[in-house]
Chain A
Amino acid sequence: MSGDAAFRAGVFDAGDLRRAHTRIAHEIVERNRGAEGLVLVGLYTRGPAIARRLAAAIAQFEGVEVPVGALDVAFYRDDIALRPVTPLGATEVPVDIGDRVVVLVDDVLFTGRTVRAAMDALTELGRPQAVQLAVLIDRGHRELPIRPDYVGKNLPTRRGEDVRVRLAEVDGGDDSVELWEGAE
Chain B
Amino acid sequence: MKHLLSIDDLDRASLTALLDLSEQFVAVNQREIPKVPALRGKVVASLFYEESTRTRLSFETAAKRLSCDVMTFSVAQSSVKKGESLRDTVQTIAAMGIDAVVVRHPAAGAPYRIADWIDGSVVNAGDGRHAHPTQALLDALTLRRRREIAGLHVAIVGDVRHSRVARSNVKALHLLGADVTLVGPPTLLPESLEGWPVQVSHELDDVVSEVDVVMLLRMQFERQQEGLFPTLREYTARYGLTEARAERLKPDALVMHPGPMNRGVEVAAEVADGRASLVTEQVTNGVAVRMAVLYSLLGSGAPVA
Verify if B146 is at the interface (C-beta below 8 Å from A).
no
Verify if A84 is at the interface (C-beta below 8 Å from B).
yes
Nearest B-chain residue to A91, judged by Cβ: B27
Please indicate the chain A residues that have their CB under 8 angstroms from the CB of B207 in the complex. none
Report the Cα distance A33→B28, complex, angstroms.
34
Quick one: given A75-B37, A75-B38, A76-B37, are A84 and B301 in contact (CB under 8 Å)?
yes
The size class of the interface chain A forms with chain B is 10 to 19
**Is B38 within 8 A of A76, CB to CB?**
yes
Instruction: Tell me if B's interface is mostly helix, strand, loop or mixed.
Output: loop
Among A80, A82, A125, the residue within 8 A (CB) of B38 is A80
Nearest A-chain residue to B42, judged by Cβ: A81
Verify if A183 is at the interface (C-beta below 8 Å from B).
no
Please indicate the chain B residues that have their CB under 8 angstroms from the CB of A158 in the complex. none
Among B21, B28, B300, the residue within 8 A (CB) of A82 is B300
Q: Which of A55-90 contact B (CB under 8 A)?
A: 72, 74-77, 80-87, 90
Verify if B108 is at the interface (C-beta below 8 Å from A).
no
Nearest B-chain residue to A88, judged by Cβ: B24
Report the Cα distance A40→B218, complex, angstroms.
51
**Is B300 within 8 A of A90, CB to CB?**
no
Nearest B-chain residue to A92, judged by Cβ: B27
Quick one: given A80-B39, A90-B24, A91-B27, are A85 and B299 in contact (CB under 8 Å)?
yes
Residue count of chain B within 8 Å CB distance of chain A: 20
Verify if A120 is at the interface (C-beta below 8 Å from B).
yes
Verify if A4 is at the interface (C-beta below 8 Å from B).
no
**Is A75 within 8 A of B28, CB to CB?**
yes
Verify if B95 is at the interface (C-beta below 8 Å from A).
no
Verify if A124 is at the interface (C-beta below 8 Å from B).
yes
Quote the shortest CB–CB distance from A79 to chain B (angstroms): 9
Report the Cα distance A74→B27, complex, angstroms.
13
**Is B302 within 8 A of A85, CB to CB?**
yes
Quote the shortest CB–CB distance from A21 to chain B (angstroms): 29
Verify if B303 is at the interface (C-beta below 8 Å from A).
yes
A-B pairs with beta carbons under 8 Å apart, 9 shown = A76-B38, A80-B38, A82-B300, A84-B300, A84-B305, A86-B21, A86-B303, A90-B27, A124-B35
Verify if B36 is at the interface (C-beta below 8 Å from A).
yes
Please indicate the chain B residues that have their CB under 8 angstroms from the CB of A124 in the complex. 31-33, 35-36
| 0/1 interface trace, chain B 209-221, chain A, CB 8 Å (1 if under) | 0000000000000
Across the A-B interface, the 8 shortest Cβ-Cβ residue pairs: A84-B302, A75-B36, A75-B38, A87-B24, A86-B302, A80-B299, A124-B33, A86-B303
